[in-house]
Structure 1
């Protein structure tokens, strides 16, 4: 964006310049000035190190290292070139290298920085004041590493890479530093170009939503009978695993299909009855070693939207020891598989499910019977 001087005769464009033309150096000028006034990039930053390189087997150094108000580490990389070079790749490498830094290490780093700059300040007290903490808290510190890139300009390759990385959960900001020659004085126009300030809150929400969806996908697990039975055995014992196996085999014969959950930890199989475009679910066998009754699902569809029928269904199960209270008739109560450990209880459970299926079929027949 161009800068103009407002005069009585009109708007006069202030000529563009370059850092090279003005002999402004990267480290001795740009870095030095930003170190002393980082607020031009963000008011939520505290610089804690310059040319940071406190790691083994590497001579690489971070231009400026900072911490933000949320106790996140911030890597700041500077370039005076008009294309930004490979600034984003360099910064990602640095972010990974400082990601394990502890609050105690940060205090030591900041203490060295203060001494080098001739500042007689207690490092830990200044950090606690900045973070508005009463005492050090390693659990809250360094949960994320953010990146700020500042350059005279950025190539399309850099901006495309940064936007792609931001979409995948990273937090990278790009600032464009453009020098102008104003009557012999140097004026620097500083603009945040990624993300645009007016869109930043929206983009953060989109990124969080995308990240949550991606995390959800990663947390899914494909269950099958072998995995479920093995998990039930671990959680509730061999007998419960055998009971679940018997129910699965029986369900395949009386139900229309079996649906498997994709939960990462607590898996299940859910027998499904399909009638007249309605899906009826009565129970699920969970990897925790329990039977979950889908009374809440039953309550939403006829004929079991009739509370009296649900109560009759529960009474049949309570006779074998399910122990379902009346206030759970529209919920999803559970009872242990071991309740079905004797043959009579197992047969009574199957009879209760078959009774429920009969009620659904009777409902279907009444709906399609000729008038």
Structure 2
């Protein structure tokens, strides 16, 4: 990381969580509240558990459900020293915890064992009203599964490892497990301290992306269509900045949250100016609505949609709808990419 002053770059040295006085619980809480640090705009996650005890009294750090209905185990270590000081290897500890989740056969069972106790622990974060923790949990989980069109629950389990630093043995083991179809990701969390503020860079280091994910066709219009649309990885999917450049969406467009009344105005930087839920933009001239007022507040589309749905992370493009056409951004993106692919094929 570099800071720029008067067009001159100065390297900002990374620090460590230990030097910042942060322990594993601190990192765990950061990720619990902001798990989208380990996701992207193409994935939805709902955190359902923290420090869940299994039948052998082992405690898993964070538990989530993804948009495919799979249970996701998130294990956290502060640094390489913490990993090396454990009697059991980091990755195998995670596998053992994940194996216990393989026995969960239904949303009801997950809520009873994991989600309801989690809601009870963090009651102040939910509008429970007259509902019990179980009733709210089953409602929220079913809403999440229904919204993501999940038909099969917990067919497989995923593992995410997050640490400030890894030892070579862990990385070697995870690479081998990936090669043998075990769904395990490693994220490296690198902290920086700048002007007494802490910044964290979250980088996915395993599994490594294939070289083809980085190849870009020299023809601009074929930039994202060198492979069939269905084969394009999440990493290489065009983002909102690309869609604005294409002109398929434009600043001032009204974006709706899918199946919700919440509306926002798309800005030229890809963020949105959010309108309170009780208001409707309707036929108003959006250019006359200030970007930062008591009426509207600028934020990322991910942050806005997370607040609307109450999820930990959300597939932005699947749940953002262009009000003018009623199509999701995902559908608009897909149609434009198919058009480019067709044009590219015809020109060959």
TM bin (shorter chain)? 0.5 to 0.7
Matched residue, 1:4: 2
If the length of structure 2 is used for normalisation, what is the TM-score?
0.53
Q: CA deviation at 1:129?
A: 1.9
How many correspondences in the alignment?
Answer: 196
| 1:112 aligns with one of 109, 117, 128 | 117
| 1:32 aligns with one of 29, 32, 35 | 29
Contact 1:101 1:142 in 2 (8 A): yes
Gaps of 5+ in 2: 129-135, 215-230, 232-348
Contact 1:128 1:136 in 2 (8 A): no
Select the structure that is richer in helix. Answer: 1
Q: How has the CA–CA distance of structure 1 residues 36 and 200 changed in structure 2, closer, same or farther, with 3 Å as cutoff? A: farther
Q: CA deviation at 1:157?
A: 0.9
Paired residues for 1:7-22 under 5 Å: 7-22=5-20
| 1:98 aligns with one of 81, 101, 106 | 101
Does structure 1 residue 177 correspond to structure 2 residue 182?
A: no
Q: CA deviation at 1:181?
A: 1.8
Q: How has the CA–CA distance of structure 1 residues 72 and 31 changed in structure 2, closer, same or farther, with 3 Å as cutoff? A: same
Contact 1:107 1:124 in 2 (8 A): yes
Q: How has the CA–CA distance of structure 1 residues 201 and 95 changed in structure 2, closer, same or farther, with 3 Å as cutoff? A: farther
CA distance in 2 between partners of 1:51 and 1:178 (Å):
23
| 2:154 aligns with one of 142, 146, 151 | 142
Q: How has the CA–CA distance of structure 1 residues 135 and 150 changed in structure 2, closer, same or farther, with 3 Å as cutoff? A: closer
Q: CA deviation at 1:9?
A: 4.3
CA distance in 1 between partners of 2:153 and 2:2 (Å):
44
CA distance in 2 between partners of 1:136 and 1:187 (Å):
35
CA distance in 2 between partners of 1:176 and 1:193 (Å):
7
Give CA deviations for 1:9-53 in whole Å, capped at 9, x if unaligned.
4111112111111001111x1111111111111242111000011
Matched residue, 1:51: 51
Q: CA deviation at 1:197?
A: 5.0
**Greater gyration radius:** 1
Contact 2:187 2:202 in 1 (8 A): yes
Identify which of structures 1 and 2 has the higher relative contact order when contacts are C-alpha pairs closer than 8 Å and 6+ apart.
Answer: 2
Contact 2:67 2:150 in 1 (8 A): no
CA RMSD of the aligned region, Å?
2.4
Q: Secondary structure at the match of 1:132?
A: helix
Paired residues for 1:132-211 under 5 Å: 132=146, 140-196=152-208
CA distance in 2 between partners of 1:16 and 1:169 (Å):
33
CA distance in 2 between partners of 1:186 and 1:97 (Å):
35
Contact 2:69 2:150 in 1 (8 A): no
